Amino acid sequence: MPPDKAGIIPRLDPSTGSPVNPTPAVNTLRPSACPGLLRIVQALDGGICRVKLAGGSITAAQASAVADAAQAYAGGVIEATNRANLQIRGIGADQEALIATLLAAGLGPRNAGGDDVRNLMLSPSAGIDPQMLFDTRPLADQILATLQSHPRFHELSAKFAVQLDGGEALAMLEHHHDLWLSAFVRDGQTLLAFGLAGCPGLNAPLGAVPLEQGHALVVAVLEAFLDLASPAQTRMRHLPVESVLGRLNLPLLPTDGFKRPPSGALLHLGTYPQEQKNQFYVAAIAPLGRLDSTMLKGAAQLANEYGDGTLRFTPWQGVLLPYVEKPHAVSQRLAQLGFLCSIEQPLARMIACTGSSGCGKALADTKADAVQLAALHPGHDVHLSGCPRSCAAAHTAPVTLLAVSPGHYDLYFRDPAQPGFGRLHAHNLSIEATGALLRARPRSNTDD
Ligand code: SF4
């Protein structure tokens, strides 16, 4: 059920279907081209509904509800996004029933105006990672509650994003965020370094605060941004850093001692021990970010059977099951469901945007081409993009194929000295030619 005229989202009791605990909304929905849970956006293959997950986490029951909704009201295609959310594609005419099903499962925002701003990325191993410096989840809950309940923050763009990094070994450190916070320890004290319009893996921090002031820092930065930004300036990168820093009304500490260790290269794929004794997490990738209702329901069932009844989606467009004692069985069953569990599977190294089967801007069928390229065993991490918007990758991949016509791409190699996709290496390559070129190229040449 969508918000009523007062912007109130009725929450439905799953057993009776009656509204319960309606939450007053403090803002009405803003016009935006981005899908949300309450705003289904049309694409070539039907409507898209984006379900934003707090820290990528979802209960098994909620995951089953998403799977049921995708089956009943859409074409059954579910996407794991690179911001650790889920989206349902191919939604037909009964959009209200789909939204009602998701709200009844408790997947909606606290109020209508708060849906778009739930963009806070955590490590998928928050609270369970042996290398973490602190459990980010309580602070994340506090920040998310403020983002949703503070009416002024609903003015932020639906793309405005914040990252909270607790120093976990498993962390996406290359996705640009409007504001990032990253933990480090100095003289025995845990501090949060922060930066604007960048990421902890690539950019130097601008200052630091004690952990206890993390929430106050986020509020101060967002208020400074909104004070300074014109309506056309929707992202932090549109403002001079100094102007935002100059407006912060809290003391900043120096950042000496901050150096974010790199994330473990393959920790988003496979089985790894948790901080908690005798507990493991099992992580897998949804092929090209897509899963169907059977896969999602199957993963939810595994979380109930072998884990703690929760799943976490990852920025690698995959899923992680925490608190597993028998990881081998879980890994086998995930593979049987169609998830990719090993880097030896070439498709685990491909990402591709929606492509021409679902997006009017695409110049090629990127997903089908990625499958064809994977079969050629190119031996590199490759991103196929149907146009320069790069929806599938929030970072620069070692190899990018940018579509120029059906089945043909310009090929770029990542180069820190070059903006965008990197250095243009070849024009208008077929998939066969791309496969041959990449196979002949040593991996170290593209994994800078
Ligand atoms: S990158 Fe371009 S072609 Fe691909 S989904 Fe985004 S807008 Fe469409």
Q: What is the pLDDT of residues 267-285, one digit of tens each?
A: 999 999 999 999 999 999 9
Average pLDDT of 333-340? 98
Q: Please state the atom number of ligand 1 nearest to the C-alpha of residue 362.
A: 3
Band of the pLDDT at 14, cuts 50, 70, 90? very low
- Nearest of 222, 242, 241 to residue 157 by alpha carbon: 222
Q: How far is the CA of 364 from the centre of ligand 1 (A)?
A: 10
Please report where in the chains the tokens 């930004």 appear, as a residue: 229
Q: How far is the CA of 387 from the centre of ligand 1 (A)?
A: 5
390 lines ligand 1 (CB under 6 A): yes
362 lines ligand 1 (CB under 6 A): yes
Band of the pLDDT at 31, cuts 50, 70, 90? low
Average pLDDT of 216-241? 97
Mutate to test the pocket of ligand 1, among 82, 389, 409 (most ligand atoms within 8 A of CB): 389
Q: How far is the CA of 292 from the centre of ligand 1 (A)?
A: 21
Is the pLDDT confidence value at 404 over 80? yes
Q: How far is the CA of 358 from the centre of ligand 1 (A)?
A: 9
For the ranges 113-117, 308-312, 353-357, 425-429, the lowest mean pLDDT is seen at: 113-117
Q: How far is the CA of 370 from the centre of ligand 1 (A)?
A: 14
Give the pairing type, strands 290-292 and 310-314.
unpaired
% helix / strand / coil in the chain, to the nearest 5?
30, 25, 45
Band of the pLDDT at 444, cuts 50, 70, 90? low
150 lines ligand 1 (CB under 6 A): no
- Predicted confidence at residue 112, as pLDDT, reads 82
Task: Name the burial class of residue 344, with classes exposed (0-12), middle (13-18) and buried (19+) by CB atoms within 10 angstroms of its CB.
Answer: exposed
For the ranges 13-27, 164-178, 385-399, the lowest mean pLDDT is seen at: 13-27
Is the pLDDT confidence value at 447 over 80? no
- Predicted confidence at residue 363, as pLDDT, reads 98
Polymer length of the chain: 448
CA distances from 213 to 168, 184, 218, 220 (A): 20, 14, 9, 10
* Domains of the chain, start order: 33-109+267-341 (3.90.480.20), 133-166+173-262 (3.30.413.10), 348-440 (3.30.413.10)
- Predicted confidence at residue 26, as pLDDT, reads 32
Task: Name the burial class of residue 315, with classes exposed (0-12), middle (13-18) and buried (19+) by CB atoms within 10 angstroms of its CB.
Answer: buried
